[in-house]
Amino acid sequence: MSFFTELAHQYIDGEWRTGNGSWDIIDFNPYNGEKLAAITVATVEEVDQAYRAAERAQRSWGETNPYTRRLVLERALRIVEERTDAIAEAITEELGGTRVKAGLEVRLAMEFLREAIQLAPRPEGRILPSTVDGRENRVYRLPVGVIGVISPFNFPFLVTLKSVAPALALGNAVVVKPNQHAPVVGGGLIAKIFEDAGLPAGLLNVLVTDIAEIGDALIEHPVPKVISFAGSDRVGRHVGAVAGSHFKRAVLELSGNSALVVLDDADLDYAVDAAVFSRFAYQGQVCTAANRVLVDSAVADEFTEKFTARIAALRTGDPADPETDIGPVINSFQAEALTGLVDQALAEGATALVRGTTRGNLVEPTVLAGLPAGSPLHRQEIFGPVVLLVTFDGEDEAVRLANDTPFGLSGAVHTGNVERGVRFAKRIVTGMMHVNDSTIQDEPMVAFGGEKYSGLGRLNGDSTVEAFTTQKWISVQHGRTDFPF
């Protein structure tokens, strides 16, 4: 199957369609600039059609036995298993993901599908006591109805499935708007998998469009009750504000500025390995990536020597080449922005311990040290293969530096004493913190989300059940109530 020929369309109410907009989104390979597809954007009218189709289909789906719903998820998992290589190849083509990144994304997506299969029968009702004699309080957990999903370009297959699969398992319908840089991997491909798995028409819809065409229609529409968004904090703030003004629940997974902290008793060779992966996986275009590597001054010289040697040896080039470590960033705008960021840091007094060059969308790794403490670059997200190396004296200063950012998504600490690491982790204001590991982690059953500007709400496991279901109280009076008048 040629994914970029057959799946580069709108998918509404079980039909593959051409959008009715007046312009096209062009899907490019970020490495070689090859045009993969041209997709005519969906209009506001098609947003309404998708949501109305989802609303109609959800009524019977929500009443379907959860074990029957689970069968669709099981078939979807088998399809992904059968098409693993083709999906990974599409990730490389559309996103510039290396072979390692593509393989990791598909494997994680399968784990999340396995968890979604188990979620279908998980929601439980309760019977609660009452202050009134003869009354029985029943609390039912029900699907919310229809969920709008807005997914990012960096891990579109995984992140979209993280919302779509459990939402369907729990009895909801879904409308997905993939990022315009990932319309197939984050949209059409997922629709095709569930179509082939036998999902009834209307339960999953994909709209390839842009805010320039539809404005806030995807969020403001009266049908969806939950908006699941992953992307930048700037856009996420807007999504949350619009959703809130329409009394919709928003689950927001936003930007990060994670720190990987190396304490004075860490295994330095292992910490170097973790730091290299934490910063440079998928060219650093990961919300949980380690923008900052903080190293105790007692071990800074040794760590820095090993760290910079590893980074200087990373290979930048064609992501389809299995020997490539660093592929292209997503577009020329991002490449130029990263070059400008490095120039800014150097102008502020930083030193480039490793200075990569930029060739088209290929941005080689750069390590910056000695950036003045007051530089705003310490506090912002750097979405690319540029890392800040910062030294500190003692744990208290490390905590202060790690927390000195408006973001709080992930982080990691390396130490020879696990309990010391746990105590340190508790002091960092993040949604997630990892002891002796990478900052880039995601597991199907563990709550994923951030603090501060890094998001609102959580997904995965029981957190997903909470996000995509609602509770309904039904009381039953056995006998007669003695009313006061």
223 contacts: CB under 8 Å, gap ≥ 6: 51, 52, 54, 55, 145, 146
Which residues, listed in sequence order, are joined to residue 206 by a DSSP beta bridge?
A: 11, 176
The sign of the dihedral angle between the CA atoms of 11, 39, 229, 117 is positive
Q: Are 421 and 430 in contact (CB under 8 A)?
A: no
Pairing mode, strands 451-452 and 35-40? unpaired
> Which among 454, 391, 389, 395 has a CA at the least distance from the CA of 424?
395
Separation CA 5–CA 78 (nearest Å): 23
Measure CA of the first residue to CA of the last residue in the chain; give whole Å.
71
Where would I find the beta strands (DSSP E) of 196-343? Answer: 204-206, 226-230, 249-253, 258-262, 290-296
List residues with catalytic annotation: 253, 287
Pairing mode, strands 407-408 and 451-452? antiparallel
231 contacts: CB under 8 Å, gap ≥ 6: 150, 152, 179, 253, 254
Token pair of 289 as six digits:
């990536």
Torsion angle (degrees, nearest 10) of CA 30, 32, 33, 34: -110
